[in-house]
Structure formats: C-alpha cells, structure tokens
Amino acid sequence: IPWDVVEPLYPTEHTYKMGRGTWSWILWQDGSINFDDQKKYVNLAAAMGYEYVLIDNWWDTNIGRERMKDFIDYAHSKNVDVFLWYSSSGYWNDIVQGPTNYMDNPIIRKKEMKWLHNIGVKGIKVDFFGGDKQETMRLYEAILSDADDNGLMVIFHGCTLPRGWERMYPNYVGSEAVLASENLIFQQHFCDEEAFNACLHPFIRNTIGCMEFGGTFLNKRLNRNNDGGSIRKTTDVFQLATAVLFQNPIQNFALAPNNLTDAPQVCLDFMKQVPTTWNETRFIDGYPGKYVVLARRHADKWYIAGINAQKEPLKLKLNLPMCTKGDKVMLYQDDKKLNPHAEEITLKKNDEVSITMQAEGGFLLVK
C-alpha cells in the first residue's frame, strides 16, 4: 500500500547497484573498526562474491579520513565497494559515536558527500535519529536528496519506518526500524526469542517496507572468536531462510571470516548465490509468531523459504503453484541432528510439497 500512494520525487543521473555486504561490527564490535580487520571483511566479501563492505562507527578516528582512500583502493582491487557509517547527530543528539556533526548541517553535509564521492564511497549508513518530528522527517529527505546528487546510496538505522521511500527516493536502500540483529549480540534473551520474533517480521514490519536486519549468522556463539557471548538457538537452515524471508535491497549479512573454514559448505554455497531483489513475492502459509513460509521470485528462479518458531517439529503440506510434477528442485533442510543438508529432489505432485521443519529450524526450496 505505501508504494501505491506515493510517486518518485526526483529523477537520478546515477545507476545504483543492489547487492550483498559484509560488516564486522555485528560480531567483532567496535574493536574491529581498524584498517587490518576491515581488510579481512573485504576479503570475506570478495570470497563470497559480495558487492559491499560496511564500515561502522568510529572509522573516522580508528582508520582516519587520510587513510580511507587507501582502504577504498584496496577494496576496489577486490571488486568490493564501500559503505561508511555516520551519526545523524546535531545539537539535539548526544550520541558520541563518530563521525558526528556531518549530516545535520546542509553546508557541511554537501561538502562531506562530495568528498565521499571523490574517494569512491558508494553509500552511507546514517544512524541514531531523534524521533519522528517534522524537522527530523525533513532531515531524512535532505540526506537522501544530497546523497543522490553525489551518487550515494543511503541506509537508515535507529530510525523511523519507511513510507514508500523505495519508490520516492531512487538512492534509498533500506531502514532498520526493527528489533534487529544487534540485539542478539547484546542479550541472551533475544537469542532465546529469535525464532518467535523472526516469525513476526514477515507479517508486520517487513510488509510496510524494506527491512535492513543485518542478520544471517553462521557463528554458533555470537562473538569474534565464536567461543563466547550469546548462544544462537536457531539452526543454520533457519538462518539461511531469513536471508530470503527478510527483504532489503542491500543485505549486510552477519557472516565472519572464520565462517569460510568453519561453516558447513552447503551454507556457504547458498549464501554465495542468494539474491536481494525480487520480482514477485507470494505468501504461502504461516501464523504470526509460530511459523511462516514465503515464496520469492528473482528473474526466473523461485526461492521458497520457511522457518518454525515452535519447540516441536512442524509438518506442512504446502500448496506451491509455481511447482509442477517432475520439477527438479534443491531442498535445504535440517537433519534430525539439526545439521544442514541439501539435496536435489524431483517433485512427485503438481502444486504440492510436504515439508518438515525442525524446532527453531527452517527449510528452503530453490527452483
């Protein structure tokens, strides 16, 4: 509905490329915002075939503006582009994470965005907005408009809900506006409730507009060394399914460099090929907070994803009009030991597939 009641607000001279990214902050936190660790995440993006790396708060002091051009040159040598984090800041905002005081002043903002364009940055993530007052809503629009003048895409975090912005602003590529992945890092309680919350988002938050969740973890323990911090309760296939269920045109996934050697190869193979833009979406089955199954089409390929928030396995007979008898599809499921498993199967019936999802598990069908 939001898309149906708005119109594009300005044309653009730029071509914006959607895609996937890596970001260190979600698992490695503030201490990772340095030149060497960010190179590791560029290398991870390159190994996964991803388009972007996102450098979060404190890059201005821990890497430095003078070295940022060198870093971007390194990323470009790996065919990876860069997003940089900013605070929305201003006199009304006491957030200390930097860079601050660049986005609220139009003169400073325009100068900063020109610098970003000149050094090869492709987008910005602007965080910590101070509410939904009219002045703040004007700030969102001013940031987007000035960014487009400089060929920059914009992701908002700590922000309001989008309101048809995907159609209104050609360089807008996502809003958080949800109880997102960072909460899984902060408290075990949110890991315990992850499956329940994930089975709400496709019914509520993500129906309004794109949702920059920043998830899909393959670490079992949500810290840098995969040996402490919060314990993930959901299965690997559950995590893969959220990469399809949660829609945002640029997805910064919560993968880490260690996953290249310690994660199941079947998971890496799927995450290398999952798209972030969709030509068609169909609701298949579900109940808020219990389970959900969606089908999304990218070009001529269908991705059918489901997750189960319940404490017992769930058996479903799914009506899938995009599937016919004899189709060969790739099925991703959790085995009885909750390990990920993928196999090519041949469908035996028109339109109907029987699926079992493990407790706090999921499945994927790719056709």
Cα 290 from Cα 195, distance rounded (Å): 8
Calculate mean pLDDT across residues 63-83.
Answer: 98
**What is the percent of the chain with per-residue pLDDT over 90, rounded to a whole number?**
96
The pLDDT assigned to 172 comes to 99
Domains, the chain, in order of start with CATH, read: 2-277 (3.20.20.70), 281-366 (2.60.40.1180)
Report the mean per-residue pLDDT for the chain: 97
Extract the runs of DSSP E, i.e. beta strands, from the chain: 19-23, 52-55, 81-87, 123-127, 153-156, 172-175, 250-253, 280-287, 291-298, 301-308, 314-319, 328-334, 340-346, 352-357, 362-366
Inform me whether the pLDDT recorded for 90 exceeds 90. no
Inform me whether the pLDDT recorded for 1 exceeds 80. no
- pLDDT (tens digit, 9 = 90+) per residue, 11-64? 999 999 999 999 999 999 999 999 999 999 999 999 999 999 999 999 999 999
Inform me whether the pLDDT recorded for 347 exceeds 90. yes
Rg of the chain over Cα atoms, rounded to whole angstroms, equals 20
Confidence of residue 70 (pLDDT cuts 50, 70, 90): very high
The pLDDT assigned to 332 comes to 99
Instruction: Say whether pTM exceeds 0.85.
Output: yes
- Contact between 59 and 51 under an 8 Å Cβ cutoff? The reply is no
The pLDDT assigned to 29 comes to 98
- pLDDT (tens digit, 9 = 90+) per residue, 201-235? 999 999 999 999 999 999 999 999 999 999 999 99
The pLDDT assigned to 243 comes to 99
The pLDDT assigned to 146 comes to 99
